Amino acid sequence: MERCNWKSLEYSQSYRLYHDTEWGTPSYDDAYLFEMLILESFHCGLSWLIILNKRESFRSAFGNFNPLIIKDYNEEKIKNLLNNKNIVRHEGKIRATVNNSHCFLQIEKEFDSFSNYIWSFTNNKIIYGGDNPLVTKNDLSDRISKDLKKRGFKFMGSVTTYSYLEAIGVLNNHSKNCFRYKEK
């Protein structure tokens, strides 16, 4: 079975599983969309494998990725998270997660779901790319990032937004020879 040419796929079973079953799979589930929003914002500047290996710890630390829980995190909870050695202890990203939970819920209210919002940028179509691993942002990620920032989101620049769009399947950037690349 041929996969994308990612070095980490050779030695990490969890990375292979993520590639084979999640990355680039279109998601319309708000719970998953929020989970990936959190994980991608923590991914900024770090290896995805670090985040992936800490995913369950993030899940535990951040109320099972429930924005209704996270929005109420207070200073004491933030201090506890900053002392949690099992997650990435970046104060700006932790505070951004609390902030972004409020913004996410506002979008859900305005668009009936976050899925409706995020997929509206492509008229509910998957954008196929692949074969150019040097691309880290594009016009779509620029537009969405700008809109997210306008709505108050933090740590969602164009590069992070691009990675997020890949993760949730708005962008299918599997290599064209990868078994996961199935242009419709």
Q: Which of 18, 73, 162, 181 is catalytic?
A: 18
Residues ≥6 apart with Cβ < 8 Å to 77: none
User: How far apart, in whole angstroms, are the C-alpha atoms of residue 159 and residue 69?
Assistant: 27
Neighbours of 74 (CB within 10 A): 9
* Cα 160 from Cα 106, distance rounded (Å): 21
120: which 2 tokens? 């509206």
Active site residue 11: no
**23 carries an active-site annotation:** no
The DSSP symbol for 65 reads G
Distances (CA, A) of 108 to 67, 117, 167: 11, 8, 20
Options 28, 32, 48, 128, the catalytic residue: 48
Handedness of CA 168, 174, 176, 177 (dihedral sign): negative
User: Hey, what are 53's tokens?
Assistant: 């290996």
Catalytic pick among 15, 23, 35, 40:
40
48 is catalytic: yes
Q: Are 58 and 39 in contact (CB under 8 A)?
A: yes
Residues annotated as part of the active site: 18, 40, 48
